[in-house]
């Protein structure tokens, strides 16, 4: 039982690749775990998945697993005599010639880049450290001027901040990784370098409902297609690393808020990621600015906040999760938290499920209920309850293991696996007993219950019930 609503997503890596370390991360506060396919092969993926399910069985709580696909990597070729220094104002050629490069040119083995660029466009090399302006572009080469110089070495990355590439967000490696991950039964797929809604549609077609899809927003052209991307995705991730390379860095905080609020309005989970506690890779304490950064994401109502290298390869992975947990708890206890969170509530949609979720929030406020308990098969009822951001605990009851695991990434949901209810009395009685057993409600307190009739029908939430918790947790009356 966590003392916070925001979830913590921790990346696993060399520093945390044993069952013991994973258990320690969970005990420190991690609710779900990210496996990064940029650094894993299929054998490693299977091993880490097995470790996570082993820890899940030990702790008796559903644990979400997110597999992050690498996406297409655009890189320059190699240099004949080691790194070169590109000086400001110099001319530099990029071409399809595979010969090793020098200070005047280098191979760029991506015809799709030459098809997308034009004079006046910019190219960024090595995570934005070097900036080039295109002066001349043909199908097999481009002549550029160095606007911001630096040292360039083999296989450094290329970014195109103001062009849309005519290539899929899924490489051949991604498709193979996707199938390997889905065959194991993972819960979330994160798609890298999304440019357009069609990228999400392609992944959905391949996934066939076997996992939920998170679109990572890390390219400026994705921002112009955000509504369409969100319509097709199950959630969003504000991937601030690459977004901050291709977008003027001062614009990233504003976009973080806009993306978070848009996802909240749509009732879809949103994860804020990258460099949240970066200094804790090598330090036992974060900077004050990093603490403020994490707090901002929590105040905004993000569903989850993510650790990357801090928990995957840092010297203090457990301490980083503990710190993130402490920050989140402190923020949610702050007197300003409620007014900020509730000030961003959105009107419910004209559906019975949305109306019931909104009503449950209102009734819980009026009666000062101990908890809201929602029965959910597909998970949609739980997500709708979380969208309301109530100040009371939300217990999501489901008979489906996969649903409980997916909801582990959603704001405020305490997921409990239970058998499907037999009738309406069972719906109410079991909700009372579980709320009592899990420590959310005491004898004589009221809970608010939502469910769908007929029972077990996905997406049919149409019932709201107020119940008193009895002597041993069962319902009264």
Which of 4, 7, 34, 156 is an active site residue?
34
Specify which residues 238 forms β-bridges with.
217, 272
Which of 216, 219, 240, 387 is an active site residue?
216
Determine contact, residues 430/417, Cβ cutoff 8 Å. no
* Residue closest to 80 by CA, chosen among 66, 97, 67: 97
CB atoms within 10 A of CB 249: 11
Cα distances (Å, whole numbers) of residue 368 to 1, 270, 304, 411? 20, 28, 26, 20
Query: Two tokens at 292?
Result: 């403020």
CB atoms within 10 A of CB 103: 15
Determine contact, residues 397/375, Cβ cutoff 8 Å. yes
Determine contact, residues 191/216, Cβ cutoff 8 Å. yes
Place of tokens 């996992």: 211
Q: Kindly provide the residue ranges of all beta strands, DSSP E only, lying in 225-332, ordered along the sequence.
A: 235-239, 270-273, 304-307
> Which contiguous run of DSSP H or E holds residue 400?
none
Query: Two tokens at 376?
Result: 């959910």
Query: Two tokens at 320?
Result: 């980083």
Determine contact, residues 187/53, Cβ cutoff 8 Å. no
Q: Is 274 a catalytic residue?
A: yes
**Alpha-carbon distance 137 to 369, whole Å?**
65
Which of 2, 21, 53, 75 is an active site residue?
75
Query: Two tokens at 252?
Result: 């990233």
* Residue closest to 46 by CA, chosen among 26, 74, 65: 65
Which of 11, 16, 260, 274 is an active site residue?
274
Count of residues for the chain? 477
Strand-strand pairing, 84-86 and 150-152: antiparallel
* Residue closest to 187 by CA, chosen among 32, 8, 406: 406
**Alpha-carbon distance 450 to 427, whole Å?**
9
Q: Is 389 a catalytic residue?
A: no
**Alpha-carbon distance 452 to 382, whole Å?**
12
Catalytic residues: 34, 75, 216, 274
């Amino acid at each position: 039982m966590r003392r916070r609503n925001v979830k913590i997503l921790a990346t696993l890596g060399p520093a945390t690749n044993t069952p013991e370390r994973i258990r320690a991360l969970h005990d420190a506060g991690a609710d779900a775990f990210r496996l990064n396919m940029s650094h894993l092969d299929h054998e490693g993926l299977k091993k880490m998945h097995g470790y996570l399910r082993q820890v899940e069985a030990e702790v008796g709580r559903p644990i979400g697993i997110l597999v992050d696909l690498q996406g297409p990597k655009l890189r320059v070729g190699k240099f004949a005599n080691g790194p070169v220094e590109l000086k400001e104002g110099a001319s530099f050629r990029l071409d399809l010639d595979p010969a090793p490069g020098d200070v005047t040119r280098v191979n760029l083995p991506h015809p799709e880049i030459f098809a997308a660029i034009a004079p006046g466009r910019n190219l960024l090399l090595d995570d934005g450290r070097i900036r080039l302006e295109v002066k001349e572009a043909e199908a097999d080469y481009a002549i550029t001027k160095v606007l911001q110089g630096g040292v360039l070495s083999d296989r450094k990355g290329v970014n195109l901040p103001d062009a849309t590439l005519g290539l899929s967000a899924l490489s051949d490696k991604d498709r193979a990784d996707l199938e390997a991950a889905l065959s194991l039964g993972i819960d979330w797929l994160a798609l890298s370098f999304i440019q357009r809604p069609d990228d999400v549609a392609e992944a959905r077609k391949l996934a066939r409902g076997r996992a939920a899809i998170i679109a990572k927003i890390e390219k400026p052209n994705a921002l112009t297609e955000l509504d369409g991307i969100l319509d097709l995705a199950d959630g969003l991730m504000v991937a601030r690393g690459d977004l901050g390379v291709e977008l003027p860095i001062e614009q990233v905080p504003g976009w973080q808020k806009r993306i978070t609020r848009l996802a909240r309005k749509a009732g879809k989970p949103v994860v804020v990621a990258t460099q949240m506690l970066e200094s804790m890779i090598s330090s036992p304490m974060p900077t004050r600015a990093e603490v403020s950064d994490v707090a901002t994401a929590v105040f905004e109502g993000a569903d989850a906040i993510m650790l990357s290298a801090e928990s995957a390869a840092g010297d203090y992975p457990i301490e980083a999760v503990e710190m993130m947990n402490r920050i989140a708890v402190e923020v949610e206890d702050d007197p300003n938290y409620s007014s900020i969170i509730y000030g961003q509530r959105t009107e419910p949609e004209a559906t019975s499920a949305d109306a019931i979720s909104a009503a449950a929030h209102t009734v819980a406020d009026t009666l000062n209920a101990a908890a809201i308990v929602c029965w959910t098969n597909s998970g949609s009822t739980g997500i709708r309850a979380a969208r309301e951001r109530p100040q009371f605990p939300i217990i999501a009851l489901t008979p489906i293991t996969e649903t409980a695991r997916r909801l582990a990434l959603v704001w405020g949901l305490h997921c409990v696996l239970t058998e499907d209810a037999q009738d309406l009395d069972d719906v109410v009685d079991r909700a009372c007993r579980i709320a009592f057993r899990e420590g959310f409600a005491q004898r004589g307190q009221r809970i608010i219950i939502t469910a769908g009739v007929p029972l077990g029908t996905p997406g049919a939430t149409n019932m709201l019930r107020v119940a008193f918790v009895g002597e041993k947790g069962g319902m009264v009356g």
